[in-house]
Each structure stands twice: as C-alpha cells, then as structure tokens.
C-alpha cells in the first residue's frame, strides 16, 4: 500500500527519531503557552510490559486441565493477617481507587455496580466516599490519602477495608491535581474547599514523616475501626523492594504496588512519562521483599496495578506472584471512555476516540471524567455497571483459560515457572528466562 509516509521517504524527507512530531508539537505548545502539559491516563511510551512474557502451556511434561469440565478457582481472600473481617472476593481483579471529582457521581456508582455484580471490590479515591458509591458497592475500600480531601472518620467505619495511599505509579513522589472546572459545588463541599478553584493534593501525608509514624497511624486506623477492616498500603513503583518491606513492617495487611503505566486523573506529562518503574519490574521486587519477610502467599497479599488490560495480563501478574490485580484505565474504557460513537465530539476537543486523555478538562463526551451535569447525565450507571461486569467476567475467564492450559486448578497457582520472556529487558526485569534458554539476565 502506498502511504503518505512512503511518498515522503521517496521525496528524500526524513523524520527525526529524536525530534519526532509529538516532540515538535510539545515544544511548540510550550513555547506558545508557557505552561506545562497536564493530562490523564498513564505512561504512553513503550516500556517492557506483560506482552513481553508468554505462557508455557502444558503438553507432555505438564498436564493441562480440561477447559469445560475441570474446576479452576478464582476466589481470593484479602487482609486476613489482622482484620476481623477480611475481604472474600470471587475474582482476583479489583477496581482501583479513582476519585469522585475526577470521575462523575454516576461513573463512581457504575464502578460499584459492575464490581459488585461479579463479587469484587471497588475503591474510593481523593475526594471521599459518595453515598451512591457506598450504596452500590458490596466491598468498598476507602482511601486514606495525603490530601485528606473528603476524609471522614464515619466513612472509615462505613468502609470494608482501608487503603493508606503513599503514592501512585503515574506520579510517585508527586501529588494529584483537580482543575477548577471540575470543582462543582458538590465536589467542593466534600473536600471543604471553594468551588471553581484548582486543587492540588499534597504528595506527603501530614500525619507521618516516615515508617515509624506510619505504624502509629495504621494502629490508630485499626483502633477506630475496632480491628475489623483490612488495611492496605499503596505505593507507586520506585524503590519497591524497600517500600514493600517498610509497608509490611508498618503493619499492612495488603500491599498495593502501582507501576508506572498506571493511570491518573491529571498530572504533569513530564511526570507521567519520566518518573517511576514499569509494572513488570516492580512485581519481582515486591515478591522478593514479601518472601524474605516470610509473608508472600502467607499472610500479606500483594495487589498489582498499572497497565492491566486483559486476562493474559491478569494471569501474568498472578504468575509473577501477585494475589490480585487492580484496574483503573481499563475499567473506564469498559464503562465507555474513548467510545468511537463520540468521534465527532472528541474531534471538536482536538482529540480522537482512542487518544482522549484530557480527564483534567472535565469535558468528557462520554460523561465519565466530568462534573458537568449535562455531560454526566449522558452516562447511564446501570448500563455502565453491566458493561464493567461483562468485562470483568471476560478477564476472569481468560485468566482461567490460561491457568487450566498450564495445569492449574486455581488462577493463583500460576507461577514464574509457567512463563518465558521474549525480550532480554523483560527477562531481566521480570526475572523470567528468555524463551528457549534458561538465561535470566542479571542473576
């Protein structure tokens, strides 16, 4: 096929790999406006990821399970280390924390509906717990964040688990932001801040400056909730081995590790693309830390997030040692984000279906990342919940298919030994042998 780029090449024109078109556009945009670029979504640069790993299905040396007849379990228990009431989930895929403010009220409600329909948990976010989200979520994890926006001790007691957020994969070391156009009266009321004014969330929690204080804070949270609820600690992937060890020492029942492909509602582009560690590299570090403390698959659970898209990603994360995964961006897409039916409207915003990442703007044609009442009214939480539940079922069935093919009667029985890597980088990061060899670079 004769393409425009073939024509340009024949004419002797050559595009720079260093100064490619997005780079040129970014320089021109910066020169024009004098402000840095803010957007949602996660890192878009190519990074070693789950696609660089493959499963070794069973054949002679391993025995597969029969797809339609033999059972392959998917349930997971989270937080049994200290909590009176750990979470019993039917599937190992959970919904990550996404703030009310970033997302509309109906979108939050739909996340609860979809998760509950398949027996899994959803999570609040910066900005607090909405009644519709609580009402529709069978298992609701309440985030306790550096910003304290929307923090309410009664909501801690209304939650099924508490997630202490130390960082996010999209912006480890940085705080969140919610631009004024999304601060409606309701969002402002929950955050006890004025409407219409940009809100920046702190990157450091005012209640602790280090691991010792965190231990005290976790104990306080346990006391005020009568030791009922599992306490998670969420970290953005950076020095993951040390962070996970410290989180466990501080008393976490569950550690959430969010890799750099992880989504965000809004932060600086330079942050999203240049800070953090890929999800693939973070998992073995977390597993090593838990294993050395004797708590891997033995008391403390590991939830991994950052770029999970399909059942193969879920299965690979579990095989590398996660007990469950969390999804954010994919859940929004399942709800209807970036739907081609809004192509004309995305175009009016200077974007396109499949490219739309301006969650910060609040003009989302799909009515999901907005507080505009007219746009939000386009989104039907019941239909959104149905779509999300379908998607979660597919993720689970795909992970089960792979687990059975590897001869496993439960998805969490998948193990590193079931995997090979197709690139040297992925092999080194995931600590998995390069396909056809027994070579794990760096070990």
Ligand X SMILES: Cc1cc2nc3c(=O)[nH]c(=O)nc-3n(C[C@H](O)[C@H](O)[C@H](O)COP(=O)(O)O)c2cc1C
Closest CA to 81 of 249, 246, 233, 299: 299
- How many positions of this chain bind ligand X (CB under 6 A)? 31
CB of 245 to ligand X, least distance (A): 21
| Contact residue for ligand X among 261, 370, 396, 400 (CB under 6 A) | 261
Instruction: Supply the minimum distance, in Å, between the C-beta of residue 263 and ligand X.
Output: 3
Give the range of 206-214, 255-263, 395-403, 416-424 binding ligand X by CB under 6 A: 255-263
- First vs last Cα of the chain: how many Å apart? 45
Q: Does 330 bind ligand X (CB under 6 A)?
A: yes
Q: Considering only residues 121, 143, 225, 301, which one is a binding residue for ligand X as defined by CB under 6 A? A: 143
Binding of residue 137 to ligand X (CB under 6 A): no
Among 116, 305, 338, 396, binds ligand X (CB under 6 A): 305
Shortest reach from residue 143's CB to ligand X, in Å: 6
Q: Which stretch binds ligand X (CB under 6 A): 24-32, 208-216, 294-302, 327-335?
A: 327-335
Interface with ligand X (CB under 6 A), residue from 199, 264, 371, 412? 264
Q: Looking at beta carbons, which residue is closest to ligand X? A: 328
Among 342, 359, 379, 391, binds ligand X (CB under 6 A): 359
List the beta bridge partners of residue 55.
419
Cα–Cα distance for residue pair 132/127, rounded to 1 Å = 14
Residue span binding ligand X (CB under 6 A) among the ranges 96-104, 247-255, 409-417, 427-435: 96-104
Contacting residue, 48, 251, 262, 384, with ligand X by CB under 6 A: 262
Least Å distance, CB 265 to ligand X, is 4
Of residues 37-66, those binding ligand X (CB under 6 A): 40, 42
Candidates 78, 244, 247, 265: give the one binding ligand X (CB under 6 A): 265
Among 72, 78, 96, 315, binds ligand X (CB under 6 A): 96
x/- map, 172-211, ligand X, by CB under 6 A: ----------------------------------------
**Which of 49-57, 62-70, 94-102, 186-194 is the region at the interface with ligand X (rule: CB under 6 A)?**
94-102
Is residue 258 part of the contact set for ligand X (CB under 6 A)?
A: yes
Per CB under 6 A, residues contacting ligand X are: 40, 42, 96-99, 102-103, 125-126, 143, 165, 168-169, 234, 258, 261-265, 305-308, 327-330, 359, 369
């Amino acid at each position: 096929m004769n393409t425009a780029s073939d024509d340009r090449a024949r004419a002797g024109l050559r595009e720079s790999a260093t100064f490619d078109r997005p780079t040129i556009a970014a320089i021109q945009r910066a020169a024009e406006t004098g402000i840095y670029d803010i957007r949602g979504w996660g890192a878009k640069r190519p990074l070693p990821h789950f696609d660089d790993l493959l499963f070794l299905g069973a054949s002679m040396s391993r025995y597969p399970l029969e797809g339609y007849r033999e059972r392959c379990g998917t349930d997971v228990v989270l937080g049994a280390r200290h909590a009176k009431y750990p979470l019993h989930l039917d599937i190992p895929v959970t919904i990550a924390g996404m703030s009310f403010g970033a997302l509309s009220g109906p979108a939050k409600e739909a996340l609860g509906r979809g998760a509950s329909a398949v027996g899994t948990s959803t999570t609040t976010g910066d900005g607090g717990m909405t009644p519709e989200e609580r009402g529709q979520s069978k298992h609701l994890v309440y985030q306790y964040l550096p910003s304290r926006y929307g923090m309410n001790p009664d909501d801690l007691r209304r939650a099924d688990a508490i997630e202490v957020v130390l960082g996010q994969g999209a912006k480890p070391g940085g705080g969140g932001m919610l631009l004024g156009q999304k601060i409606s009266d309701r969002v402002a009321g929950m955050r006890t801040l004025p409407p219409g004014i940009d809100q920046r969330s702190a990157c450091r929690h005012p209640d602790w400056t280090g691991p010792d204080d965190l231990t005290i804070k976790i104990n306080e949270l346990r006391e005020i909730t009568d030791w009922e609820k599992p306490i998670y600690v969420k970290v953005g992937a950076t020095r993951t081995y040390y962070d996970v060890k410290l989180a466990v020492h501080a008393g976490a029942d569950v550690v959430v590790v969010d890799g750099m492909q992880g989504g965000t509602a809004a932060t600086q582009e330079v942050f999203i693309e240049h800070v953090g560690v890929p999800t693939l590299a973070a998992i073995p570090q977390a597993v090593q830390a838990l294993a050395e403390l004797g708590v891997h698959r033995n008391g403390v659970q590991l939830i991994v997030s950052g770029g999970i898209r399909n059942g193969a990603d879920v299965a690979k994360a579990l095989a590398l040692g996660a007990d469950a995964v969390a999804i954010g961006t994919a859940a929004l897409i399942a709800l209807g984000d970036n739907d081609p039916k809004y192509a004309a409207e995305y175009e009016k915003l200077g974007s396109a279906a499949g490219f739309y990442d301006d969650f910060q703007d609040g003009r989302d044609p799909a009515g999901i990342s907005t507080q505009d009442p007219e746009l939000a009214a386009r989104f039907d939480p019941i239909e959104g919940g149905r779509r999300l539940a379908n998607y979660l079922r597919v993720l689970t069935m795909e992970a089960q298919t792979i687990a059975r093919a590897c001869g496993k009667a439960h998805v969490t029985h998948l193990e590193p030994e079931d995997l090979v890597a197709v690139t040297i980088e992925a092999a080194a990061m995931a600590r998995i042998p390069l396909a056809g060899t027994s070579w794990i670079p760096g070990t």
